Structure 1
Amino acid sequence: MEYITREPCGQEGCRETRFYLDNGLWFCRRGHQQLGRQVEEDPDDFGTQGKTNRVKKPVIEKAQKKYRGRQAYRLFLHIYQLILWKQCHALVNDRGFPPQLENVVRDLWALRLETYAKKITEVNDEDSQPEFFSSQPASAREDTDTDTFKPRSKLIQWPRLIDTVALCYLGAILMRLPVSVGEFYQMTIRNEILYYRAFIHIPRDMKEKLPQEYIALLDTTRLLKAEDLHTAVFDLSLLYYRQFRLQLPPLNAPAILYRLIRRLALPVDIYPVVKRLQILLGFTIEYPTKIVGKRRPLDKPELQLVTLIVIATKLLFPFDDVQRHPTSAQEPAVQAIDWAVWTSVQDRFERRDASAGKVGKGKEILASEGDVLAMSPDQLDQYMDWYENSWLDSGKETSALASLFPLGASKENRQDIPAEKDNKEDSIDSMLRMAPQYIKSRAVVGDPDSDIPRPGSLYPRYRQESDLPDSARVFYETAAKVVGISLPTLVRCVSQAEIQINKWLEDQRRIKHFAEHEIESGGASEVEDTEEIDAEDILDDGTR
């Protein structure tokens, strides 16, 4: 057979350059027919090879693999909305939240979706220039004609993944549910609501059409910080008020206070002191609608609650070794806390998973190389199961080497073993049953003329983290962890609140001094009786 050398075939990756002619059609040496290259016989010129005519290939329009411009932005919002729905679904079905939460969050998202109307509904957008992603959440030129809220000089227009969790929390506030930001943070760390690697749970056809710059907005590259979640909730609350005049109600303070006091294993006598301090400091326990001057940590309501608890604890159960004796057995300060024993009880509570041979939910993502090396075989199986469920994309095409690393092997070996649930409430009940070990009674000294220290006197103030004694440091760290803030932030909040209390005490002493001066000089016949207010007055039953 005679072959003629031509340009490479190109079909199915064939690089053959030798071709032969068969019935007027060209075929490569491997049998691929060449489209557009054929020999047509001329009937008037019988016996000749004929003329060679090249037939043009039909133009096939290639399908667009990645969306661009407003089409990509609409797809991004659809995916963002799907993630938000998955979070609400997990809260309702797995965490026991009311089913109405989904409707509340949907309405909140619908309000915010109105701010993106120009980006997704403008006419003739397909013929316009593609819209590329910028490092900023949104460009300032797009919003020069709107009154946009600018927290920390950045426009909250580009929806962030952290805002999905914050939006669910705002829905819980509107429903007056006794839940805290710290609990939402723990749910994200424990992978109980979708956050880390959320993009792998999106349908494949949607992921394939979304540009990489939008994927980066939905992917997590670092661990979520609880204080960042507090800031995200704070920013969203201001945004909804500034743009939609939506004012959030105060937190369900009684229920949240009870849960915080219970988690910290403190006597319930803390509660009335906290309520009295709240009135004294003027804390509203709600998100503000406007910020005057620079932002302060105490502007956030949950930080106000934990600050009140810390101050009340320092009043009733101080961390120093000074012996303060109450005047009667009815005073709440008749009890004292052995902080060394309390620390051991809290440490046992934190290590409950390790003592049971489990890694513990929420601790897998925080594990370091040293932690992995110290794990037992069962803990390693639990860790690898968590990694497989949380980080591997099951919808992605597997490579040829995937068969060498089978998945789910440890699950098959333990499929008959029932999974144990981490019942945190039962662990807290067990911790509270150990209260008699660290709560003791103080001796009562009824002589009012005695010069012994009384509860509330010699109040210690710690202005910096380095000033904390060991017992106080453990309590501060535990309280900060429960609420979801850092230790320096809690120390700063408590110090600022103590400065306000000190100022109030000085004002009360000044009022009493001027009142006594007026009475002695006879300048006023009727002066309202005032009494000296000090730290001990905060500890009374509120019946002054």
Structure 2
Amino acid sequence: MEYITREPCGQDGCRETRFYLDNGLWFCRRGHQQLGRQVEEDPDDFGTQGKTNRVKKPVVEKTQKKYRGRQAHRLYLHTYQLILFKQCYALVNERGFPPQLQNVVRDLWALRLETYASKIADPADEDSQPEYFSSQPGSAREDTDTEGFKARGKAVQWPRLIDTLGLCYLACLLMRLPVKIADFHQLATRNDIPYYRVLNSIPRDMKEKLPQQYMALFETTSLLKCEDLHTAVYDLVSYYRRRFEMQIPPLNAPALFYRLIRRLALPVDVYPAAKTLQTLLGFTLEYPSRVAGRRKHLDLPEIQLVTLVVIATKLLFPLDGIQRHPISTQEPAAQAINWKAWAESQQRFDKRDAEAGRIGKGKEIFVIDQDVWAMNTKQLDEYMDWHESSWLDTSKEPGPLDSLFPLSSATRASRPGTPTEKDNVEDAIDAMLKKTSQSLESRPVVGDADEDIPRPGSYIARYRTKSDLPHLARVFYETAAKVTGVPLETLVHCVNRVEVQILKRWHEQRRIEHFAKQSMVELEGSGIDEDMDDSDGSDIDEDMAKLRKH
């Protein structure tokens, strides 16, 4: 065996310097295999032993893939700001909102950033002990520094994804735009503005450096509920009022009354009745400046709005089927709504997409596996197009098999039968209004002053729970609750509470009138009026008139 002298072996203290080659591997004379040594054969010199090269691992520089500490804080806020910009851009350029909306949202966000100044400033502490996000309340000192507003009993240290929609709505409220919270819920559900799978619209280099605990704040693991959006807006309004003493205007009541009455396909006579009730009850249709004790549903202005419309409708057009007779044809209650035909019109409005053979924009997210078996070709194409635009991450580099599964983005716009952007909602509402107006019925007029004749506004049924609602009343309550974006139980509770408040005011007025008449009779019987001059008598008449008026 031929040996070659090399450097010492070094394995297990072996100092052998003579080595031999076996199957391309070097072994010392004592049989120790030399790691990291090999023989590469030269193809041009077949049969030779080739050259011996040392294989070295490439030096990999250790880099930090995820940001930590203040870098992560700033990157999260930059990502959040980018989402706000994309939502405002979609609202202005695709949904027709005024361009000034971007400036208002930017100013609101700039004020909000002051809360996190202590976390994103002072870059000198970049390499100090890293700070991690926690959804639990921090220490007392940390809460004082951040001054985060309270939401559901926890100190919110970072802005939530739902707050992006709340900031956009708050900007619309400051601009007095006739927009409802349910509109933003619908925009997010229909994917008209980025909300679900919002990370798909974020650049990949930002997502790669953002820690997972921050990424989780942008993930939507459940469907957005409109009542949660109501709560988020209320928390934002409370925060800006307390922190910056910002004055929040009331709702644009005339425009929102019009939108709600038109969507419910009610006669226009409901509007003056609702305005009268608003004055009587003292509803300001604005968020309260301070709430003493537990927050109530009627503190939300949009719930006040829908409550007024429901009560005004019940007073003018009752749903209990009792025949009431007006005194003259000039009364708004001289006509009656055919509630059965109204319910059928609302049902056809809700099912207009299914009758046209479509899923309906915004309803794709509610599709379950059993629904797929009953879909036609158009509905399957519509569902796959929605899945492609909402869930596929197009920021990744194309793989080797992607060419076998081309996307349909290029052909989706030209596909026949695709729903329009507005989905013909306005035309459907106009058709529903026309049909409801044609179904109005006239009530027989009885001018007799007999008190036994039921008059409009009398004997109105009150419902304490949703189980007390009859069929037609339940359809009306459900439609009003769905349009406003509140649960049915909440609307029934608020309407019943306001009706009790109206009933107490009515009893108080009757009591004042009774005692006023009794006092007048006592004054006339005592003869005091004979000793009074004309001025004293006029003062008493004015006081009595004020009492009757109240």
Instruction: Give the TM-score band, short-chain normalised.
Output: 0.7 to 0.9
Aligned to 2:414: 415
Return the offset for 1:169: 0.2
Aligned to 1:438: 439
Aligned to 2:12: none
Q: Which amino acid aligns with 2:38?
A: F
Q: Residues of 1 paired with 2:166 and 2:464: CA distance? A: 31
Return the offset for 1:145: 5.4
Taking structure 1 as reference, are residues 19 and 194 closer, same or farther at Cα in structure 2, changes over 3 Å only?
Answer: same
Matched, 1:34 2:55: yes
Return the offset for 1:418: 6.7
CA RMSD of aligned residues (A): 2.7
Return the offset for 1:35: 3.8
- Identical-pair percentage: 59
Aligned to 1:54: none
User: Counterpart of 1:433 in 2: which secondary structure?
Assistant: helix
Question: Retained in 2: the 8 A contact 1:341–1:437?
Answer: no
Question: Retained in 1: the 8 A contact 2:118–2:146?
Answer: no
Q: Which amino acid aligns with 1:133?
A: F
Question: Retained in 2: the 8 A contact 1:166–1:232?
Answer: yes
Q: Residues of 1 paired with 2:439 and 2:344: CA distance? A: 10
Return the offset for 1:402: 4.9
TM-score (norm 2): 0.85
Matched, 1:497 2:480: no
Taking structure 1 as reference, are residues 375 and 138 closer, same or farther at Cα in structure 2, changes over 3 Å only?
Answer: farther
Return the offset for 1:147: 5.5
Taking structure 1 as reference, are residues 232 and 508 closer, same or farther at Cα in structure 2, changes over 3 Å only?
Answer: same
Q: Residues of 2 paired with 1:459 and 1:504: CA distance? A: 16
Aligned to 2:155: 155
Aligned to 2:544: 529
Deviations 1:123-176 (A, max 9, x none): 422121111121327554412357654344322331000000010000001110
Return the offset for 1:417: 2.8
User: Counterpart of 2:124 in 1: which secondary structure?
Assistant: coil
Aligned to 2:247: 247
Deviations 1:323-369 (A, max 9, x none): 00100111000110111110100111111111111110111011122
Which structure has the bigger radius of gyration? 2
After TM superposition, list the pairs within 5 Å mapping 1:357-376 onto structure 2.
357-376=357-376
Taking structure 1 as reference, are residues 147 and 368 closer, same or farther at Cα in structure 2, changes over 3 Å only?
Answer: closer
Deviations 1:239-289 (A, max 9, x none): 000001112101100000000000000000000000000011110001111
Aligned to 1:188: 188
Deviations 1:209-243 (A, max 9, x none): 00111000011100000000000000000000000
Q: Which amino acid aligns with 2:55?
A: Q
Q: Which runs of 5+ in 2 are unaligned?
A: 1-19, 28-34, 42-48, 530-539
Aligned to 2:271: 271
Question: Retained in 2: the 8 A contact 1:151–1:235?
Answer: yes
Return the offset for 1:68: 0.7
Taking structure 1 as reference, are residues 308 and 414 closer, same or farther at Cα in structure 2, changes over 3 Å only?
Answer: closer
Q: Residues of 2 paired with 1:189 and 1:146: CA distance? A: 32
Q: Residues of 2 paired with 1:207 and 1:354: CA distance? A: 39
Return the offset for 1:462: 0.3
Aligned to 1:66: 66
Q: Which runs of 4+ in 1 moved over 6 A?
A: 28-32
Question: Retained in 1: the 8 A contact 2:39–2:51?
Answer: no
Aligned to 1:49: none
Deviations 1:160-197 (A, max 9, x none): 00000010000001110001001111111111111000
User: Counterpart of 1:473 in 2: which secondary structure?
Assistant: helix
Return the offset for 1:493: 0.9
Q: Which amino acid aligns with 1:114?
A: E
Taking structure 1 as reference, are residues 248 and 532 closer, same or farther at Cα in structure 2, changes over 3 Å only?
Answer: same
Question: Retained in 2: the 8 A contact 1:18–1:29?
Answer: no
TM-score (norm 1): 0.86
Aligned to 1:458: 459
Q: Which runs of 5+ in 1 are unaligned?
A: 7-15, 23-27, 37-56, 534-542
Q: Residues of 2 paired with 1:90 and 1:390: CA distance? A: 15
Q: Which amino acid aligns with 1:529?
A: M
Q: Residues of 1 paired with 2:40 and 2:482: CA distance? A: 80
Q: Residues of 1 paired with 2:446 and 2:85: CA distance? A: 61
